[in-house]
Amino acid sequence: MSTATARPRVNLPRLTLVQRIGLLLGSIAFLVPLLVEIPGLEPAGRRMLAIFLLAILFWVSEAIPLYATAVLVILLQVLMLSDQALIGVAGTLPPAASYFAALANPVIILFLGGFLIADGAHKFGLDRSLAAVMLRPFAGNARLSLLGLMMITALLSMFVSNTATTATMFAVVIPILAALPQGRARTGVALAIPVAANVGGIGTPVGSPPNAIALGALEAAGQGISFIGWMLLAVPLMVVVLLFAWWFLTRRFIAADTPLALELSADFDRSPAAVIFYVIAATTVLLWLTEPFHGIASSTVGFLPVVALLATQVMGADDIKRLQWPVLWLVAGGIALGAGIGASGLDVWLIGLVAWEALPLTLLLLLLVGVSVGLSTVISHSAAANLLVPLTLSLAIGLPIDPTAVGVMVALACALGMALPISTPPNAIAYATGEVPTSEMILSGIAIGGFGALLLALVMPSVWNALGLL
Amino acid sequence: MKLALLILEDERPVREALRRDLAAFARHVRIEEAEDVPTALEVIEEIDAAGDRLALVMADHRLPGTSGVDFLIGLAADDRAFATRKVLVTGQADQDDTIRAINEAGLDRYVAKPWQADALRDLVREQLTEFVLAAGVDPLPHLAVLDAERALSIVRERGDL
């Protein structure tokens, strides 16, 4: 070409009013604990409180991107609460490296493996082909087809991010949607996918970031859970909520005689690279499920596909670059935040704030789950978990309930906030198709999320106890 | 932010025919018309000032003053038109003009008059999708006018933030 070519321009986004307020309040909230004497809180605890308040306001208002707040949290902890602190405090502070190490936390390594397997599944078309094969038994009846669609979406979402699952399933379903008569049936199908993806995400530790955040915090507290251990805690809830969602959505949107043809063709890639991928992915999942027999930690197993896929060159440098680094940084920020709250003594001070033990346990759990669902409805699930997991784990110390139950409960509750298009990326995708009015999303989100929340707070602790899982 | 489509065409009936055939896009896309190159440049300035993105230009070649091909060549170096898709809609461009449009303006598609309405709509959808993919624009607000499967392929890489 003989002429100059146009360059991309980086346009800085204009801040919304909420973002401006968040920026201002976050900065003020950051300064207050540093300037004002707080009874019962040591200097290190005050510094941590400052960072925590800033994190709350920045993550809630999205004044800066979520992952930017995460890296800011790590930097502030290094500058204020580590051996490299600009101004030292009495007592020993953790080394700066321990904060940076959050990005190499075993949970992040576990996710790295999960991400590579998920990306590979898409690269070789495995996600679509599996969906096609698994939909076959449900063909013929509209309501049953929807059940099949939701189960497959949930199953994929257990191993693939909720967002990617929704994108894949909509790519499959949009032609089918177009064949349906305009109106309620379309809304039902378009709602079923994000609901199933959100709910399915709770099924395994790699299903969605809140699980990783809870797992990381529990491991730091010496309460680690195995991959299969997590599944035993979460899958019963996942299945019951899915069935309820299916019942709710079909009764509301899908007439029994709706013509719904969900027949897709499976096209399995049989190239040598694809076959190697299938073997590595299957081995990894098998090892995850059998941890009690071999004792290899799930994070170590998660690193296996990373090594094997790169060594066999089934995946390469480009695939590493495409990994969802913003998500990994966000989780790392949450892990660093949790570590700082524990190390600075802020947790002890927080417990002392309210006489939680005076409240009946059931009410407390309802409150816990309610706040988690509410917050994750209006902000990112991962950011909500980043804030709530360390907070509630500190509180759990004084309660007559296993801290593991509390950590898992918050993570699961953070998956149930799905009443608005902004609640989760899957909801945003469903809304963008134009088939889902906001009012219907709110209604089904409240019904399904509310049902799940009640089940989680009132029934699951007894189920977990009865099954001897805690 | 809206995606904008610019029709550069001096004959009013042809502009109207294009607009009519693309009416399905009008709800989601800012469709602008210009009858000559100076007007087109003004429109591009307006689109840019409003914070919208020029996604697609459908230009005729034979125009009073500057030709459509020369306009497209100028556009290739214009930062306001980064990743903008360029389509020549004409019955009268000779071989030399067409060669210049492809080699110097990076022409994306050539539509011969008279066009088929269905094929034109498919082409516009395809080109808007190409723009969104190349420009790194969030496809979700524009999903209705895009090839959903390809547009969702970018969304899937975002992860659960």
**Enclosing domain of residue B62:** 3-158
CATH number of the domain enclosing B71: 3.40.50.2300
Q: What is the mean pLDDT of residues A63-82?
A: 96
CB A111 within 8 A of CB A235: no
**Which residues of B touch chain A, with CB atoms under 8 Å apart?**
51, 73, 75-84, 103-104, 106, 135-136, 139-141, 143-144, 148-149, 152-153, 155-161
Backbone torsions φ then ψ of A345, nearest 5 degrees: 80, 5
Comparing alpha-carbon positions, the chain B residue that sits nearest to A12 is B51
Q: Which of A71-80, A261-270, A453-462 has the lowest mean pLDDT?
A: A261-270
Using a CB-CB cut-off of 8 Å, the residues of chain A touching B106 are 1, 5
Compute the average pLDDT of residues A199-209.
Answer: 97
Q: Which of A164, A330, A381 sits opposite B156 (nearest CB)?
A: A164
Collect all residues of chain B within an 8 Å Cβ-Cβ radius of residue A161: 156, 159-160
Q: Which of B75, B78, B161 sits opposite A327 (nearest CB)?
A: B161
Set of chain B residues whose Cβ sits within 8 Å of the Cβ of A324? 157-159
pLDDT in tens, A9-24: 777 888 999 999 999 9
Chains A and B: how many Cβ contacts under 8 Å?
A: 99
| Residue B40 neighbours by CB distance under 10 Å | 25
Tens digit of pLDDT for each residue in A394-405?
A: 888 777 888 899
| CA–CA dist B28, A387 (Å, integer) | 38
* pLDDT of A1: 44
Nearest to B79 among A6, A66, A381 (CB): A6
**Whether A222 contacts A110, CB under 8 Å:** no
Mean pLDDT of chain A: 92
User: Please, what is the angle between helix A43-61 and helix A66-81, to 10°?
Assistant: 170
Chain B interface mutation, best of A186, A324, A414, A424, highest count of B Cβ atoms under 10 Å: A324
* pLDDT score, position A398: 74
Whether the CB-CB separation of B158 and A382 falls below 8 Å is answered with no
Q: Is A221 on the interface with B (CB under 8 A)?
A: no
Query: Among partner residues A5, A162, A330, which is closest to B76 by beta-carbon distance?
Result: A5
Read off the tokens for A193: 């996918």
Which of A59, A158, A161 to substitute to test the interface with B, most B CBs within 10 Å? A161
Q: B77 and A4 in contact by Cβ < 8 A?
A: yes
Chain A contacts of B83, Cβ < 8 Å?
6, 8
Confidence at residue A13, expressed as pLDDT on a 0 to 100 scale: 84
Chain B interface includes A7 (CB < 8 A): yes
pLDDT for the residue numbered A4:
63
Query: How close, in Å, is residue A24 to chain B by CA atoms?
Result: 23
Which of 421-450 (A) contact B at CB < 8 A?
424-425, 428-429, 431-434
Residues 6+ apart with CB under 8 A from A265: A132
Per-residue DSSP letters for B108-157? -EEEESSPPHHHHHHHHHHHHHHHHHHHT--SGGGGGGS-HHHHHHHHGG
**Whether A6 contacts chain B with CB within 8 A:** yes
Band of pLDDT at residue A181, cut at 50, 70 and 90:
confident
Instruction: Please report residues of B whose CB lies closer than 8 A to that of A333.
Output: none
Tens of pLDDT, residue by residue over B118-128, are 999 999 999 99
What stretch of H or E contains B34? strand B29-34
Q: According to the model, what pLDDT value does residue A448 have?
A: 98
Residue pair A301/A284 in contact by the 8 Å Cβ criterion: yes
In angstroms, how far is CA A405 from the centroid of its own chain?
Answer: 17
Number of domains in chain B: 1
pLDDT band for position A60 (cuts 50, 70, 90): very high
The pLDDT score that the predictor gives to residue A2 is: 45
pLDDT in tens, A99-111: 999 999 999 999 9
Contacts of A93 (CB under 8 A, 6+ apart): A44, A81, A82, A83, A85, A343
Of A55-59, A174-178, A285-289, the least confident: A174-178
Hey, are the CB atoms on A428 and B140 less than 8 Å from each other? yes
Count Cβ atoms below 10 Å from residue B30 Cβ, excluding itself: 20
Local structure of A147: helix, strand or coil: helix
Hey, what amino acid is at A206?
Answer: V
Q: What is the pTM of this model?
A: 0.91
Q: What is the DSSP letter of B25?
A: G
DSSP per-residue codes, A272-301: HHHHHHHHHHHHHHHHHHTHHHH---HHHH
Average pLDDT of the segment spanning A284-312 = 96
**CB of A272 within 8 Å of any CB in chain B?**
no
Determine the average pLDDT of the residues in B67-78: 94
State the pLDDT at residue A456: 97
